[in-house]
Amino acid sequence: MVTDFPFLMQSMAWPLALLLAWFLGERLYEAWQVPRVTSYVAVGLAGSLINLPG
């Protein structure tokens, strides 16, 4: 059983961020023909604003 929750959350951060960027990219492209890379940049910028203690 994993009891080190900060490590678990930290190890899940990148895969979840990539999944979110991909999902938003596909939905925005289908709805409004927004280039997919726009959502990748937006998720990256939003992620850089989060300051997680390491």
In this structure, the number of other CB atoms found within 10 A of the CB of residue 34 comes to: 15
Kindly report the number of other CB atoms within 10 A of residue 33's CB atom.
7
Of residues 13 and 31, the one with the higher pLDDT is 31
Return left, alpha or beta for 32; rule: phi > 0 is left, psi -120 to 50 is alpha, else beta: alpha
Q: Which residue has the higher pLDDT, 2 or 10?
A: 10
Vertex 49 angle, CA 43 and 12, to 5°? 60
| Spatial separation of the C-alpha atoms in residues 49 and 23, rounded to whole Å | 20
pLDDT per position as a tens digit, 24-46: 999 999 999 999 999 999 988 88
Task: Between 3 and 43, name the one with better pLDDT.
Answer: 43
This prediction has a pTM of 0.76
The angle subtended at Cα 11 by Cα 16 and Cα 44, nearest 5°, is 45
